[in-house]
Amino acid sequence: MIYLDNAATTRVRPEAAQAALEVMTRDFGNPSTRYALGTAAAERLAADRAVVAQALGCRAEEVVFTSCGTEGDNWAIRATLELGKRKGKHIVTTAIEHSAVLEPLRDLAAQGYEVTYLRPDRNGHISPAQVEGALRPDTVLVSMMLVNNELGTLLPVREAAEAVRRSGCPALVHTDAVQGFLKVPFTPEGLGVDLLTLSGHKIGAPKGIGALYIRRGLKLRPLLFGGGQEGGLRPGTEPTAQIAALAAACRVWMDHREEYTERMKVVKDHFLSSLQAALPRAVVVSPGDAPHICAVSLPGYPSEMLVRELSDRGICVSAGSACRRGKPSYVFAATGRPKTELLGTLRVSFSPESTPEEADALVSALEEIAQSRVSL
Ligand code: PLP
């Protein structure tokens, strides 16, 4: 199998699986208990939190573990609006956010919030001036992702946070950094954001673990009420095995960061140039600013058919976000490109283990499909 859908999820790294196994079978204590097994679990939890904080470039007490990126996004949005409820009801976001941001916003719009959606240009970029122009005295939240999950484009989060500060509006700034974490360099403080979401399964940790960065001093309403874990903000017995796996995956990435970035970039560039050489009618919808994601199109060949035909040849790529389950991609559509291009768009996303040979196999398979099938 050739797996080139690493923006959807990643294979769990052996180091992460090993850490989870250790915690599940040996260091399995409940961190809230007072005997040695429990205190050892609490110590390990503290050490693992410190590792995740180091990978993010923030303080350990600013990291709250969640069950996934979707939970972090939903919580950040709702808690921010709760804080700003007397200041305004206007939200600024982009038309290309993940559904984990767009769907809670849609629900809030139905409850009377006004949402401004910034639209990207043809290449999937949003300009700082667009953010600046959208801010109002009653803007209470700006939520902008760091790296788009279908186009690989970088969004101007730092500039958005600066614009908020300059404008004097009361908005808090949230970024969904699920696709950017450890793939592009940033720290929450450097970006100037108040809240930042990440998810473990994009970096070789298992599904079911994520984290929300909450800037020190920001007092959020808890997501849940219960036993006081996670500083009382997100109680529930800590998923220590998943947390250990997340920390282990972070450690591997931190140890190899430059090498991993370079490897993914080299394979992606190789893929894009081989594709254009082999299939001159292929269009690069987005080469991706991030090292691991790009979007390409074979106009006239519907992406669902391409995904199926590639799957029959043992190659996994997506027609867009995995969460869309076959629905046309609103992200690709938001770029305003011609319909024939949009219908044939594929997202290809790499891991540090991806090889040029795998990229070549994808190009050959696309060539074969284009030769055997009549375009629309
Ligand atoms: N945000 C982005 C940009 C994503 O790509 C994803 C997952 O695909 C999510 C949020 C949701 O993360 P999770 O699957 O951990 O809920």
pLDDT in tens, 327-342: 678 999 999 999 888 8
With a 6 Å cutoff on the Cβ, whether 145 touches ligand 1 is yes
Q: pLDDT tens digits for 222-251? A: 999 999 999 999 999 999 999 999 999 999
With a 6 Å cutoff on the Cβ, whether 239 touches ligand 1 is no
For atom 5 of ligand 1, the residue with the nearest CA is 149
Residues 184 and 158: their CA atoms lie apart, in Å, by: 13
Residues 371 and 343: their CA atoms lie apart, in Å, by: 18
With a 6 Å cutoff on the Cβ, whether 151 touches ligand 1 is no
169 in catalytic set? no
For atom 10 of ligand 1, the residue with the nearest CA is 69
In the block, tokens 């360099």 appear at 185
Per the structure block, which two tokens stand in for 155?
């969004």
- Spacing, Cα 212 to ligand 1 middle (Å): 13
With a 6 Å cutoff on the Cβ, whether 210 touches ligand 1 is yes
pLDDT tens for the 376 residues of the chain, in order? 999 999 999 999 999 999 999 999 999 999 999 999 999 999 999 999 999 999 999 999 999 999 999 999 999 999 999 999 999 999 999 999 999 999 999 999 999 999 999 999 999 999 999 999 999 999 999 999 999 999 999 999 999 999 999 999 999 999 999 999 999 999 999 999 999 999 999 999 999 999 999 999 999 999 999 999 999 999 999 999 999 999 999 999 999 999 999 999 999 999 999 999 999 999 999 999 999 999 999 999 999 999 999 999 999 999 977 666 656 789 999 999 998 888 999 999 999 999 999 999 999 999 999 999 767 6
- Spacing, Cα 376 to ligand 1 middle (Å): 33
Closest residue by Cα to residue 233 from 219, 246, 247: 219
- Spacing, Cα 100 to ligand 1 middle (Å): 7
